[in-house]
């Protein structure tokens, strides 16, 4: 079995839970996801099965979310799963939020939450946090392509945002930092990932629809449709060379290229000066 699945991950389950279910159904160990989605969150979770796991690095990593922020309370985890550490009676307005959002758009420096899986000195941040150990966290550069208000409930001080961003962006940190900048504190109370690369929420499959290996096969996405790279059609001689990992000369611009034959994925190569050096072979 070879391909991608567009899975809807429900709130309360981990990304590893989803993988475990699919391994049990398919009896295939070689299954992976393209990026962890917190148990607190729900939405799109791209899954790779079989040799498709070797394509994870070539998939578009940009994400889209709908996040709901509760102002007036700050938590240790920046979401509902943490302990409340600070409260505020300050009420903010829609204009306050609109004036604050521009500094969160574009390329920004973001400090990840202490309760996250990022490793520092070989140890995950949440392990330091749970042990009460202090650790220096370095800010990371992320890109917020779009940050728009969907709805603001001024009475309840809740804000719903549409966010499109690069890989590695923490929406929890946006909620926390927005609350800090507004002087009232804030944390994330709901998060839905609506898009991950070409995987979209409205096409996602619920796990309960995948009870048999036949059902899994029926939902498989062939990788060629989701790889945003130039494609080169091999002739028979070229395919023979590529199948043995041999470089070939092709007419293509420099960079990653997908080598195919009759709409079948044969290999991924890196082209430089019209010479394609084979990175991964799939036959």
Helix (H) or strand (E) holding 177: helix 171-182
| 123 Cβ neighbours under 8 A, 6+ residues apart | 135
The arithmetic mean of pLDDT across residues 129-139, rounded, is 69
Helix (H) or strand (E) holding 237: helix 236-243
Instruction: Give the chain's end-to-end CA distance (angstroms, integer).
Output: 13
Q: Is the dihedral of CA 234, 47, 201, 37 positive or negative?
A: negative
The tokens describing 201, both together, are 């929420």
Answer for the pair 196, 63: CB distance below 8 angstroms, yes or no: yes
CA 48/CA 51 separation, integer angstroms: 8
Averaged confidence pLDDT in the chain = 92
Question: What are the backbone angles phi and psi of residue 106, rounded to the nearest 5°?
Answer: 85, -155
pLDDT category of residue 123 using cuts at 50, 70 and 90: low
pTM summary value: 0.90
User: Of residues 38, 61, 151, 153, which has the active-site annotation?
Assistant: 38
3-state secondary structure of 88: coil
For residue 254, what is the DSSP state? S
Question: What are the backbone angles phi and psi of residue 193, rounded to the nearest 5°?
Answer: -85, 115
CA 72/CA 263 separation, integer angstroms: 55
What pLDDT shows up at residue 215? 97
The tokens describing 200, both together, are 């979209």
Is it the case that residue 102 has pLDDT exceeding 90? yes
What pLDDT shows up at residue 95? 98
For residue 131, what is the DSSP state? T
What pLDDT shows up at residue 134? 66
Is it the case that residue 181 has pLDDT exceeding 80? yes
> Catalytic: 38?
yes
Is it the case that residue 129 has pLDDT exceeding 60? no
Question: For residue 206, what are the CA distances in angstroms to 64, 203, 272?
Answer: 19, 10, 42
């Amino acid at each position: 079995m070879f391909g991608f699945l567009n899975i809807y991950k429900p709130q309360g389950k981990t990304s590893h839970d989803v993988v475990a279910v699919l391994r049990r159904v398919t009896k295939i160990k070689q299954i992976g996801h393209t990026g962890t989605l917190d148990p607190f969150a729900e939405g799109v979770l791209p899954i790779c099965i079989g040799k498709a796991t070797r394509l994870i690095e070539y998939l578009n990593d940009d994400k889209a979310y709908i996040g709901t922020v509760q102002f007036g309370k700050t938590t240790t985890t920046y979401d509902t799963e943490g302990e409340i550490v600070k409260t505020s009676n300050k009420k903010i307005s829609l204009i306050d939020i609109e004036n604050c959002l521009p500094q969160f758009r574009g390329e920004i420096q973001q400090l990840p939450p202490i309760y996250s899986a990022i490793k520092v000195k070989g140890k995950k941040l949440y392990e330091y946090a749970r042990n009460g150990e202090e650790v220096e966290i370095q800010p990371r550069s992320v890109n917020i392509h779009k940050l728009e208000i969907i709805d603001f409930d001024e009475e309840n001080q809740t804000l719903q945002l549409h966010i499109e961003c690069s890989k590695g962006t923490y929406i929890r940190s946006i909620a926390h930092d927005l609350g800090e900048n507004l002087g009232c504190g804030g944390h994330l109370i709901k998060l839905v990932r609506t898009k991950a690369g070409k995987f979209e929420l409205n096409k996602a499959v619920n796990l309960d629809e995948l009870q048999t290996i036949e059902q899994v096969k029926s939902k498989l996405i062939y990788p060629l449709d989701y790889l945003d790279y130039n494609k080169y059609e091999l002739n028979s001689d070229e395919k023979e060379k590529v199948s043995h990992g041999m470089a070939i000369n092709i007419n293509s611009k420099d960079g990653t290229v997908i080598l195919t034959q009759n709409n079948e994925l044969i290999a991924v190569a890196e082209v430089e000066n019209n010479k394609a050096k084979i990175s991964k072979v799939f036959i």
